[in-house]
Structure 1
Amino acid sequence: MSTIQAPLEFRLLGPFGAWQGGERVLRGLRRQERCLLAVLLLESGAAVTTERLIGLLWNDTPPPAARATVHTYVGRLRAALRPYGLPVDTRHDGYALDLAEADGHTVDVREFRDEIGQAAVAGDPAEKVRRYDRALALWRGPLLADVIDDELRDRLDGRLAQLRLTALEQRAEAQLAMGLHERVLADLTPLADELHDREGLVAARMTALYRAGRRAEALELYERTRAHLAAELGIDPGPALSTLHQRVLTADPRLDRPPAPLYAVRVDEEWLPWSTGGHPALEFCNTFAGWRHAPRIPGSDWLRTYRTLAVWAGHLDLADEGVVAQLVERAGRSPEEAEAALAEAREFRTQLYACLTDPADVPAFTAVAAVAREAARAAVLTLGPDGLAHWRPTPAAGLRLPLYAVARAAADLLTDPRRLTIRTCPSDDCGWLFLDATGRRRWCSLSTCGAARGGR
Structure 2
Amino acid sequence: MGITDGRDVIVLQPSKPANLLAALLLHPNSVVSVDFLQRVVWGEERPVTAKAALHTCVQRLRQLFAKYGIAGNLIEAVPGGYRIAADAGTLDLIAFRELLRSAEAEPDPDGELRTLRAALSLWHGPLLVNIDSDILRREVVPRLTEERLRTLERVFDIELALGRCRQVLAELWPEARSHPAHEHFWAQLVEALHRTGRRAEALSEYRVVKEYLQTELGVDPGPALQQLELAVLRGDDLSAPAARPGLTMLPPGDRHGLSPPPAIPPALESGGREFPSEVAEDVLETLVGAGLLEEEPEGRYRMHDLLRTLTRGAVAFRSEASGSDTSSGA
TM-score by length of 1: 0.57
1:24 counterpart = 2:9: yes
Helix, strand or coil at the partner of 1:90: strand
**Can you list the C-alpha shifts for 1:67-103, whole angstroms capped at 9, x where unaligned?**
1110111111122223311312221232222125xxx
**CA contact under 8 A between 2:107 and 2:252: conserved in structure 1?**
no
Q: CA deviation at 1:49?
A: 2.4
Contact 1:210–1:248, Cα closer than 8 Å, also in 2:
yes
Q: Give the equivalent residue in structure 1 for 2:84.
A: 97
Q: What is the aligned partner in structure 1 of residue 300 from structure 2? A: 403
Note closer, same or farther for the CA distance 1:150–1:178 as it changes in structure 2 (3 Å cut).
farther
Deviation at 1:233, TM superposition (A): 1.0
Shift of 1:258: 4.3
Which SS does the other structure have where 1:145 is aligned?
coil
Q: Report the CA distance shift for 1:243/1:80 in structure 2 as closer, same or farther (over 3 A).
A: same
Is the 2:224–2:246 contact (alpha carbons within 8 Å) kept by the matching residues of 1?
Answer: no
* Aligned ranges 1:105-120 → 2 under 5 Å: 105-120=89-104
1:192-231 matched pairs, under 5 angstroms: 192-231=176-215
Distance between the aligned counterparts of 2:62 and 2:149, measured in 1?
36
Deviation at 1:200, TM superposition (A): 1.5
CA contact (8 A) 2:28 2:83 kept: yes
1:177-326 to structure 2, matched below 5 A, reads: 177-252=161-236, 254-255=237-238, 257-259=239-241, 298=245, 304=250, 307-308=253-254
State the distance in 2 between where 1:430 and 1:136 align. Answer: 44
| Partner Cα distance (2:43, 2:223) in 1 | 41
Residue 425 of structure 1 deviates from its aligned partner by 12
- Within a 5 Å distance, the mapping from 1:58-73 to structure 2 comes to 58-73=42-57
Distance 2:187 2:247 in 1: 15
How far apart in 1 are the matches of 2:269 and 2:131? Answer: 55
Equivalences for 1:15-94 in 2 at 5 Å? Answer: 16-25=1-10, 31-82=15-66, 83-87=69-73, 88-94=75-81
Root mean square deviation, CA, Å: 3.7
Find the aligned partners of 1:110 and 1:430 in 2 and give their Cα distance: 50
Would the alpha carbon gap of residues 49 and 430 (structure 1) be closer, same or farther in structure 2, given more than 3 Å must change? farther
Instruction: Report SS of the residue matched to 2:188.
Output: helix
Q: Distance in 2 between matches of 1:86 and 1:430?
A: 69
Aligned-partner Cα distance in 1 for 2:317–2:101? 33
Tell me how far apart the structure 1 counterparts of residues 2 and 109 of structure 2 sit (CA, whole Å).
33
Summarize deviations over 1:152-193 as a string: whole Å, max 9, x none.
Answer: 223235311112221111111111110100222021122232
Are the aligned partners of 1:39 and 1:156 in contact in 2 as well (CA < 8 Å)?
no
Aligned to 2:128: 144
Distance 1:352 1:121, change over 3 A: farther
Identity %: 30
Contact 1:35/1:147 (8 A) holds in 2: yes
Partner Cα distance (1:42, 1:35) in 2: 11
What TM-score do you get using the length of structure 2 for normalisation? 0.76
Structure 1 spans left out of the alignment, 5+ residues? 1-15, 261-295, 309-337, 371-398, 405-423, 432-441, 444-449
**CA–CA distance in structure 2, aligned partners of residues 135 and 246 of structure 1:** 35
* 1:120 to 1:236, Cα distance in 2 relative to 1, 3 A: farther
1:13-62: CA deviation from partner (whole Å, max 9, x where unpaired): xxx1112233124x676622112112222222222222221122122221
* Residues 352 and 368, structure 1, Cα contact 8 Å, conserved in 2: no
Shift of 1:240: 1.1
- Contact 2:264/2:280 (<8 A) preserved: no
Give the letter for the 1:84 counterpart: I
Return the alpha-carbon distance in structure 2 between the equivalents of residues 49 and 367 of structure 1.
43
Q: Which amino acid aligns with 1:403?
A: R
Name structure 2 gaps, 5 residues minimum. Answer: 290-295, 302-311
Q: Using a 3 Å threshold, how does the CA distance of structure 1 residues 23 and 362 change in structure 2: closer, same or farther?
A: closer
Determine if contact 1:86/1:99 at 8 Å carries over to the other structure. Answer: no
Retained in 2: the 8 A contact 1:49–1:94? yes
